[in-house]
Amino acid sequence: MTLKRSPIGTPERHRLVLRGLGLRRIRQMVVRPDTPQVRGMIHKVGYLLEVVRP
């Protein structure tokens, strides 16, 4: 997944979710396992992300 939009102006909890996913900078890309916990995090901040599933 890639962080596409800046978290500036978003709720603090959404910024914490991004940190939990390991995303800090725009256009930063990370790979995470497909677990229910990660899916829930993606659901919460999906409007900031681009998610590609293999």
Mean pLDDT of all residues belonging to the chain: 97
Sequence-separated (6 or more) residues with CB below 8 Å from residue 50: 1, 2, 4
Domain ranges in the chain are 29-54
CB 6 within 8 Å of CB 47: no
Asked whether the CA dihedral 50, 19, 32, 30 is positive or negative, the reply is: positive
Say what the pLDDT of residue 54 is. 78
pTM higher than the cut 0.75: yes
CB 48 within 8 Å of CB 18: yes
For the segment 1-16, the average pLDDT, to the nearest whole number, is 98
Say what the pLDDT of residue 21 is. 97
For 26-47, what is each residue's pLDDT tens digit? 999 999 999 999 999 999 999 9
Tokens of 26: 């725009």
